[in-house]
Chains A and B, each alone.
Chain A
Amino acid sequence: MMDFLLQYFPEQAGLLSAEVDAIYIFMLAVSLFFTVLVVALSVIFSIQYRKRNEKMPEAIHGNLVLELTWTGIPLLLTLFMFAWGTAVYIKQVRIPENAKEIFVVGKQWMWKIQHGEGPREMNELHVPINQPIKLTMTSEDVIHSFYIPAMRMKQDTVPGRYSFMWFQATKPGKYHIFCAEYCGTKHSGMIGSLYAMEPADYQKWLDERIKNPLEPVANQPASSSSVESPVVHGEKLFTELKCITCHSQTSGAMGPDLAGLFGRDVKLEDGRTVPADETYLRHSIINPADGIVQGYSALMPTYKGQVSEEQLLSLVAYIKSLQSKKN
């Protein structure tokens, strides 16, 4: 019986899968009850009150108690659904502090993935089980959506901003990754696999990948930089792109010091205060003039078109790391 039912559920391979399925099963039960109720009453009334003679039935104008009952019961029931669904949703979006960082860039029609330790993969994602995984995601072109049915998780990847998603695999195995947001010709080919592995196996895989990186893929710099961690890569870029000329503790007034910046609130020249999160950092590299920090002038040139989304992710990762050094 259980096996028969389970074939109508995707594998419960994530920390929250069973919680989502529990609400789903509750909803199925509620729906079944009300559907049977309405269908049964329609059938019973249809038979009982079918036309028997030419006499017109008496009018029944309504009944306030009944109206309040069938407004009140659905209202209370839906409020309960809302509360339960929202409680689980908050778990779905609140990312645990200790999550392992992985970067995802969607592009027509592939998923480019980089681990915090450096290795890159294409349309494949290897993760250790029993550890929360945080995905920092963006897109190079149109909107995509990173979807892992076995984890019951999905998040759009939006060009021009970062979005985040987390999951924790609980069962080793290979699971589908789908692009869920329609993105053009090969939308249905923008698929991949999640490999959830025992932590020891994952470590072996990671070490192997650090030693023997994948062949560089199209659109990616062919340098050996693919084994560098995003932070190290970002630090190099920080020098190569001459960011360091202005954004250093020694250069004084030219550009704000970036150490300890991440996570702080930043006062801007136009009076706004914005949180220095990933999206703010990315935006300030691409469109520096949009958010000049109070006390500075608009000297910084735009890096639009000069850095790829992967390089941006590395720069952001490096700037974030500046915080941890200072602390």
Chain B
Amino acid sequence: MESKKNYLTNGHTVGSWLLTIDHKRIGILYLLSVTAFFMLGGFFALLLRLELLTPRGDLFTSDIYNRIFTMHGVAMVFFFMIPAIPAAIGNFVLPIMVGAKDLAFPRINLLSWYLYIIGAALAFVSIVMGGVDTGWTFYTPYSSTYSTSAVTSAALGVFIAGFSSILTGLNFIVTVHKMRAPGMTWFRLPLFVWAHYATSLIMILGTPVIAVTVLLVFLERAFGFGFFDPRLGGDPVLFQHLFWFYSHPAVYIMILPSMGVISELVAAFTKKRPFGYEFIAGSSLAIALLGFFVWGHHMFVSSQSMYAGIVFSIITFLVGVPSAVKIFNWLATFYKGSITFETPMIYVLGFFGLFMVGGLTGLFLAIMAIDVHVHDTYFVVAHFHYIMVGGTVMGYLGGLHYWWPKMSGKMYNEALGRIAAIGIFLGFNLTFFPQFIAGYLGMPRRYHIYAEEFQIFNILSTGGAMVLGLSFIIPIFNMLWSLKFGKDAPANPWNAKGLEWTIPSPPTTHNFETTPIVTEEAYAYAPHDKGGH
């Protein structure tokens, strides 16, 4: 056993990585790629915040500023946030969690990474060609006929990266259905798997729509087909319907996996079965389903009909309820637990605070009367950063610290990990909380030059961004440090339940020497608990 090669040492050539069909190695490839885009997107964010220190345009021209916020959004949304947890962490742990030796289609898994890389390369080409200035939302007819920037390559990049996400979703769904180990019934699946199953459904059903939509923009731009520009006989608002039909569910592609991570972390660090397991699992599916019927809440002031607005408003409130259910269930899991506070748990607590604010301000925006005022202001910017960074990134980093010993076979530095988690929480709040106030005061988003009375909030925000930026560097440093100086990780450093903790750290290429037979539910911590199912 001991002399067996693990997945990291099983092949050292470049080819053994770039042509690997091992889900764990592909997970690592994704991890490296999304981290690169996170740093790129973060760098753009830093430039934005520096420019916004003063109401004037000091550092850049408006054209450059517009390109920077667009590239920040494109890099972060399409190339970091969407693939981060599913493709990097999910790829690595999901097959192990269900007791499989790999995903159902290992070659398709590799193909999906290559599609991501081709998409990313095209996005990068558009940066080299001078950048895109349409905003990550690509609203027509600006994007399709008016903008003179490198829209075409960016749109094609998003189009191709979309297929990577479809293939990952397909792979996860088939794996969960067909590759579960004997005894791994549906209600013994870890909640991380349930969350990824729900996410995969959205990836498969939603992503083709965005792919086709950006393709239509490309066709209008390149060949003058009239889909969206009224001068060509098109309808510009049609684009918004198509775009948000995907991009709102895409928010749940970003947040559901994070909720899955949080469920795992809460169980592992309270040493308890998550309270209301079925409700947490079911709420993931409810969110995925309802998420498809709320896209019109991005369009309350787009000249959409009043009646459509009312319907979208009420469904939006309904989708808020399952999120509340999750929070209360996690909290109830703390009750009578045996709680420890390693780094991942600090991220869980941070997630609670930030996701509460993000979720509740989502309700403000679902209220049409308020949305008419704050739509397209910094209030919206603050809200979705609380969800995306506060929700997704906290979950991502918490999960990364939790599974890092499994992935690398090394322990990171615990003190440094906790300092970073606290720094990110504080820096984040300082960056984005003032933006709620600036937004309600009426500061529109995507403004290079702004009215002077908003400056104080922007100074606070920029200060916070510095703290946030520095804190984000610490985990990267910590992980690299651990590779060289970290202690060797035991198979189960957290004393946690779950099949991934029953195999060595790092795992061998085939994960399990013999197919595991599952005899208990996912979170059988309690000595007397026979499991609910």
Measured CB to CB, the residues of A under 8 A from B are: 8-10, 16, 19-20, 23-24, 27, 30-31, 34-35, 38-39, 41-42, 45-46, 49-53, 55-63, 66-67, 70-71, 74-75, 78-79, 81-82, 84-86, 88-90, 92-93, 108, 141-143, 145, 147, 149-150, 152-156, 158-161, 163, 176, 178-189, 191, 287, 304
**Complex interface: chain B residues within 8 A of A156 (CB):** 301-303
Q: List 27 A-B contacts (CB under 8 A).
A: A20-B372, A23-B367, A34-B360, A38-B352, A39-B353, A45-B335, A46-B334, A57-B337, A57-B525, A58-B336, A58-B529, A60-B332, A66-B276, A67-B325, A71-B321, A78-B321, A84-B367, A86-B368, A92-B369, A158-B237, A159-B236, A160-B230, A180-B375, A180-B444, A187-B66, A189-B449, A304-B231
A61 pairs with B372, CB closer than 8 A: no
Binds A, one of B141-149, B166-174, B189-197: B141-149
Bound CA span A81–B279, Å: 24
B370 pairs with A24, CB closer than 8 A: yes
A143 pairs with B276, CB closer than 8 A: no
Interface range on chain B (Cβ under 8 Å from partner) = 35 or more
B331 pairs with A49, CB closer than 8 A: no
**Complex interface: chain A residues within 8 A of B324 (CB):** 70-71, 74
Whether B317 sits at the interface, judged by CB under 8 Å, is yes
Which of B135, B236, B440, B451 is close to A182, meaning CB atoms less than 8 Å apart? B135
The 7 A-B residue pairs with the shortest CB-CB distance in the complex, in nearest-first order: A160-B230, A149-B442, A85-B367, A45-B334, A88-B369, A89-B368, A59-B526
Task: Please provide the chain B residues from 252 to 311 with a CB less than 8 Å away from any CB of chain A in the complex.
Answer: 270-273, 275-279, 301-303, 306, 309-310
**Complex interface: chain B residues within 8 A of A74 (CB):** 320-321, 324-325
A159 pairs with B368, CB closer than 8 A: no
Whether B437 sits at the interface, judged by CB under 8 Å, is yes
A45 pairs with B339, CB closer than 8 A: yes
Q: How near does chain A come to B93, taking the closest CB pair, in angstroms?
A: 23
Q: How near does chain A come to B308, taking the closest CB pair, in angstroms?
A: 12
Measured CB to CB, the residues of B under 8 A from A are: 62-63, 66, 133-135, 139, 141-142, 146-147, 229-231, 233, 235-237, 270-273, 275-279, 301-303, 306, 309-310, 313-314, 317-318, 320-321, 324-325, 327-329, 331-332, 334-341, 349, 352-353, 356-357, 360-361, 363-364, 366-370, 372-373, 375-377, 437, 440-442, 444-451, 523-529, 532
B331 pairs with A42, CB closer than 8 A: yes
A61 pairs with B367, CB closer than 8 A: no
A81-B446 contact given A45-B331, A57-B338, A62-B279, CB 8 Å threshold:
no
A46 pairs with B377, CB closer than 8 A: no
**Complex interface: chain B residues within 8 A of A183 (CB):** 142
Kindly report which residue of chain A lies nearest to residue B357, judged by CB atoms.
A35
**Complex interface: chain B residues within 8 A of A82 (CB):** 313-314, 317, 366-367
Which of B134, B272, B325, B446 is close to A59, meaning CB atoms less than 8 Å apart? B272
Q: How near does chain A come to B499, taking the closest CB pair, in angstroms?
A: 19
Kindly report which residue of chain B lies nearest to residue A183, judged by CB atoms.
B142
A42 pairs with B146, CB closer than 8 A: no
Bound CA span A49–B270, Å: 8
Q: How near does chain A come to B221, taking the closest CB pair, in angstroms?
A: 14
A56-B527 contact given A38-B352, A93-B306, A188-B447, CB 8 Å threshold:
yes
Bound CA span A51–B303, Å: 56
Which of B270, B317, B440, B441 is close to A78, meaning CB atoms less than 8 Å apart? B317
**Complex interface: chain B residues within 8 A of A59 (CB):** 272-273, 523-526, 529
A60-B373 contact given A39-B352, A93-B306, CB 8 Å threshold:
no
Which of A19, A53, A145, A163 is close to B376, meaning CB atoms less than 8 Å apart? A145
B367 pairs with A49, CB closer than 8 A: no
A75 pairs with B370, CB closer than 8 A: no
**Complex interface: chain A residues within 8 A of B278 (CB):** 62
**Complex interface: chain B residues within 8 A of A287 (CB):** 233
A187 pairs with B313, CB closer than 8 A: no
**Complex interface: chain A residues within 8 A of B529 (CB):** 58-59
Bound CA span A141–B317, Å: 35
Which of B277, B321, B331, B356 is close to A61, meaning CB atoms less than 8 Å apart? B277
Bound CA span A153–B368, Å: 11
A149-B363 contact given A42-B331, A62-B275, A82-B314, CB 8 Å threshold:
no
A181 pairs with B62, CB closer than 8 A: no
Bound CA span A308–B279, Å: 58
Which of B334, B370, B525 is close to A56, meaning CB atoms less than 8 Å apart? B525
Bound CA span A79–B317, Å: 7
A149-B237 contact given A180-B376, A187-B447, CB 8 Å threshold:
no
For the A-B complex with A39-B353, A156-B301, A184-B146 known, give 11 more contacts whose Cβ atoms are closer than 8 Å. Answer: A20-B370, A23-B370, A58-B336, A59-B272, A74-B321, A74-B324, A78-B318, A92-B368, A143-B302, A154-B375, A158-B237
Q: How near does chain A come to B75, taking the closest CB pair, in angstroms?
A: 18
Q: How near does chain B come to A233, taking the closest CB pair, in angstroms?
A: 23
**Complex interface: chain B residues within 8 A of A145 (CB):** 301, 376
